[in-house]
Chain A
Amino acid sequence: MSKLGQVVESVENYNKFVLDQVKRARTDQKFGRDLLGRWNDTKAKIPVTRTPTGLLLPRLALPEIDEPGEIARFIFGEGLPGEFPYLNAAYPEMYLEPIREIESFDKNGDKTGKNLAQPEEPTRLFSGLMLAEDTNERFHYLTRHQRTHRLSTAFDGPTLYGLDSDADGVFGKIGEGGVAIDTVEDMVRLYDGFDLGSPNFSASMTISGPAPMIMAMYIAAAKRRFGPKVVPRLRGTVQADIFKEVQAQNETIFPIEPSLRFLTDMVEFTTREMPRWYPISISGYHIGEAGSTPVQQAAYTLSNGFAYAEMFAARGIPVDQFGPRLSFFLDCGLDAEYIALARVSRRIWAIGMRDVFGAGTRAQLFKLHTQTSGRSLIAAEFKNNLTRTAAELILSYMNATNSCHSNSADEPFTTPSEEWIRLAAHGQAILLEESGIFKHTMNMLSGSPGMKAVERAVEAAILDEFREIERLGGVLAAVEERYQRSQIQNAAHRYEQQIYDSTRPIIGLNKYRDGDEDAPEVKLVRTPRTKQQLQVDRLQKFKKKNADKAKRALDELATVAERGQNVFPALLEAAEVCSLGQITGSLQEVVGRFRPMV
């Protein structure tokens, strides 16, 4: 049985354990009494907060139960926020307003003296356009009101495919859909003016195929600006999710096995040298966007995650070293499953990591970034997209996501323009800061009978998917058989069919459509030719300047790759003097190119 099969068993066993605890709480008087005592203690310790209208609310809402069996079902089956199995949240407080001395009370209404540090805002906006300096400007614009600077970077097509901007036929793609990065010099420009080593800064880079090379460039850029001592202080995330590329997004540049090997090389390095870096973001978002059902999205994301864990453990990296450095990324759309998709995922991950991989507390946490669904956005009557995104945001925060990106309404047409980005960001602020839904009380919307019904149905369906993948020989075998890919394509086809025959209502498109075609006046963001030419010129100058050094670095890289050693140290050297395309080419010589699955 593969680890995934063991995960299925561990969840089944855990569910049995919960039922046993419920029964025991009802039959074993001492056990029941202890539970009730603990429950009452917990409730008594919950601080009280006062809303702007003067209402006193507990900072954590718990079910109104006083029967030991039900208490056991909650404590073991769901867990308090921040407690195993983390159904409600990975951390205890999430989006709560910090307790202000002046307005916080203990249970008797007396003031408490506790003063908490300001948490990070969960808002993280994805951005990348034109050249590095243009994206840099956008980053400064986006973060001008924020205490913490959490940048999320989108790359253009050539970069995502590991190509240089002067590669044959890519000119028109330079800076389109994301920022063009060819060299360490671009990377320096990209984050100019931000303090990369600061605890208030983190950079997220959405790139997978060439992730180890881009990561090496980021480190090289940080060293150029702040010296070598900055490396262990760097905070951020690089996506580096090879499985989902092969399953859904098609941005893979090496065959699967060497891709996974280079990824593991990077993880081995960062988990050792960069304790605050997340070297992989296990991503269901693109699986969802490619058309999967919500259950497929969660099932493939989790199973990919367990497969990575198995791989990293096999390399000899201790689970408590890499476990806390894994993070997840899910899509949130409008289907009913999204009411609890991330909640269930968090629970399955924690149980599997603890009981199959022997992970300690920090390595059990399913740390989640959510993005609202891009696929749910429609060109027809596009302003409706504001409402769609707002509903998806509520669902995302109901699932206690750790960070969130809200899409701009103009995304069906273009890289978002500043006007619509501002509205998207404000949408989050309105929910978290203006409204009282999330800032006063944890569990404000958790635990409704409907939510529990969704949880049970979703968990059972995810475990069924795991069993199917296990039957096919595990994640890698299933990927090579195109199992996930075919399932996703099938679901995508069904979704389109439902829109086409109107069994899936899309307002403004197949329902309540006004006669007039709405012709949006959105300002398109396009990269001017002069900028594209500038990028090519800069790259060629860089290549010329470093020609000799680059050749030596590439030879060394190829040798290391050929020998099967960890390539990351050689990548770090190469990133100083080589372009992305040069590095890709050199590695492809050794391991080959990815052969698309059709």
Chain B
Amino acid sequence: MPSPIRILTAVPICDGHDSAINTINLEFIRHGIEVIYLGYHRSVGDIVRAAIQEDVRAIGISSYNGGHIEFFAAVVDLLRKKGADDIKVFGGGGGTITHDDAARMRRKGVDEIFFAGTSLDDMVKFVHQRYGKPRTRRPRPRSFDQELAHNLSKIEEAYGIGSRKRRTSNAQRPTQNRQKHRTSKVIGFTGPGGAGKTTLIDELALRFLHRNPKGRIAILSHDPSVVGEGALLGDRATMINSQDDRVFMRSMATRGQAGGLSPATHDCLASLAQSNFDYVIIETVGTGQEAMPFQKNGIVDSTVLVMNPDYGSRLQLQKIVMLDLADIVVVNKSDLQRARTAHTEIEQRLEQNHRDQQLVDTVAKRHRDSGVDRLFELISK
């Protein structure tokens, strides 16, 4: 079975109309498409950077606030300038984009504009027909990021859905003797869904960018595939600070694998770890109590477990395997009433392990949170 089609969707800058795109995203993923959703109020630069890093087949733009002729054209032009014109552009804007506008936009290189009244079925059909065939001849990458992105695509495509590993000869194999080639520090983030992992990583990225004016980081983020279908990869919409030229971000769907990662994760992570980033951060999907996602990878240098203060009874803590394994445990949302109790209970739980595990309280949603500062220092050590 071939890999799902990956597309990026976004709403242009100064436009908050996300109701249509939310509906369309859900329809796409129900029909086997993997959607990387960038969110609303997004600049041309953010959209093109994300599209190249994610190496999507196409960008779908939903615009309701005017200025669409300029905006779509700017996206097409920037893709071209970056040598990424095999990434196509389509979109719509209800009644705000007239037929005349659409004709002009097509002339400027936009594949298709959908008008008010187009059924969701027709849009899905369009994406499958137009972007469903495998890309055979890729243009020569013009930048480091583009080459890396192409390479990650090759790795991911070498794994079919639901099948075990297929041949990965074209893809870069992780080297056995990894220490020799390693230049990056790899940090794994895991924890239950809704604990705030994504926001926390984005806040750490912001601190990194401030601290290291020339450094670069990579983020490998995971979201679950809908059973037998596509996936909504929405972390970029939350990670506002990570939309930066010095951050290379890649979103992956789990494609049927349990445990919080994708079948291709190991190889992709190995490839990123050898690519001269200062840090590579890997984020699992929200995990259950028994999960230990980084065990077999062996590439991860240090692991962070992000907890929500609402984990249930004290007994539940005994069952969370990662509490034994994590190097750092974070109690996020520590402004919640439950957080003090959570801190005490987790502290006691960690003492049983007799390891030098760190416990940090954070409020990731708060700007300049001192807990996140402390976590950043621990990781930077």
Cβ–Cβ < 8 Å partners of B240 in chain A: 593, 595-596
CA distance A176 to B63 in the complex (A): 12
Residue of B nearest to A156 (CB): B14
Cβ–Cβ < 8 Å partners of A274 in chain B: none
A379 pairs with B41, CB closer than 8 A:
no
CA distance A125 to B61 in the complex (A): 31
CA distance A524 to B98 in the complex (A): 9
Cβ–Cβ < 8 Å partners of B40 in chain A: 250, 596
Is B23 in the interface zone, CB < 8 Å from A?
yes
Cβ–Cβ < 8 Å partners of B71 in chain A: 169, 172-173
The 8 Å CB contact of B238, one of A379, A414, A595, is A595
Is B365 in the interface zone, CB < 8 Å from A?
yes
CA distance A591 to B368 in the complex (A): 8
Binary flags per residue of A476-503, CB closer than 8 Å to B gives 1, else 0: 0000100000000100110010001000
Is A447 in the interface zone, CB < 8 Å from B?
no
B66 pairs with A177, CB closer than 8 A:
yes
Residue of A171, A258, A290, A595 most packed against chain B (CB within 10 A): A595
Binary flags per residue of B92-103, CB closer than 8 Å to A gives 1, else 0: 001110110000
Is B317 in the interface zone, CB < 8 Å from A?
no
Given contacts A596-B240, A598-B237, contact A161 B22 (CB under 8 A): no
B199 pairs with A595, CB closer than 8 A:
yes
B65 pairs with A176, CB closer than 8 A:
yes
The 8 Å CB contact of A250, one of B18, B116, B199, is B18
Residue of A171, A249, A250, A519 most packed against chain B (CB within 10 A): A250
Interface residues of B in 71-89 (CB under 8 A from A): 71, 74
Interface residues of A in 434-456 (CB under 8 A from B): none
The 8 Å CB contact of B14, one of A173, A379, A489, is A173
- Interface SS of chain B: loop
Is A288 in the interface zone, CB < 8 Å from B?
no
For the complex, count residues of A whose C-beta is within 8 A of B: 44
Cβ–Cβ < 8 Å partners of B69 in chain A: 172
B94 pairs with A595, CB closer than 8 A:
no
The 8 Å CB contact of B367, one of A251, A380, A509, A591, is A591
The 8 Å CB contact of B19, one of A169, A489, A519, is A489
CA distance A180 to B379 in the complex (A): 45
Residue of B nearest to A509 (CB): B117
Cβ–Cβ < 8 Å partners of B113 in chain A: none
A596 pairs with B66, CB closer than 8 A:
no
B365 pairs with A250, CB closer than 8 A:
no
A157 pairs with B66, CB closer than 8 A:
yes
Cβ–Cβ < 8 Å partners of A172 in chain B: 66-71, 74
B94 pairs with A412, CB closer than 8 A:
yes
A169 pairs with B66, CB closer than 8 A:
no
A161 pairs with B98, CB closer than 8 A:
no
A595 pairs with B37, CB closer than 8 A:
no
Is A432 in the interface zone, CB < 8 Å from B?
no
For the complex, count residues of B whose C-beta is within 8 A of A: 44
Interface residues of A in 155-200 (CB under 8 A from B): 156-158, 160-161, 163, 168-174, 176-177
A-B contact count (CB 8 A): 105
Given contacts A169-B44, A169-B74, A412-B116, contact A598 B65 (CB under 8 A): no
Residue of A nearest to B47 (CB): A169
Is B43 in the interface zone, CB < 8 Å from A?
yes
Given contacts A169-B44, A595-B238, A596-B238, contact A380 B37 (CB under 8 A): no
Is A360 in the interface zone, CB < 8 Å from B?
no
Is A413 in the interface zone, CB < 8 Å from B?
yes
CB proximity of A487 to chain B, nearest CB, Å: 13
Cβ–Cβ < 8 Å partners of B95 in chain A: 379, 412-413
Binary flags per residue of A516-560, CB closer than 8 Å to B gives 1, else 0: 000100001010000000000000000000000000000000000
A379 pairs with B13, CB closer than 8 A:
no
A380 pairs with B117, CB closer than 8 A:
yes
Interface residues of A in 233-288 (CB under 8 A from B): 249-251, 255, 258
Is B39 in the interface zone, CB < 8 Å from A?
yes
20 example contacts (A-B, Cβ-Cβ < 8 A) are as follows A157-B13, A157-B66, A169-B13, A169-B43, A172-B70, A173-B65, A177-B65, A250-B41, A493-B23, A500-B119, A524-B98, A591-B367, A593-B240, A595-B199, A595-B202, A596-B40, A596-B237, A596-B238, A596-B240, A598-B238
Which residues of chain A have a CB within 8 Å of any CB of chain B? 156-158, 160-161, 163, 168-174, 176-177, 249-251, 255, 258, 290-291, 379-380, 412-415, 480, 489, 492-493, 496, 500, 509, 519, 524, 526, 591-593, 595-596, 598
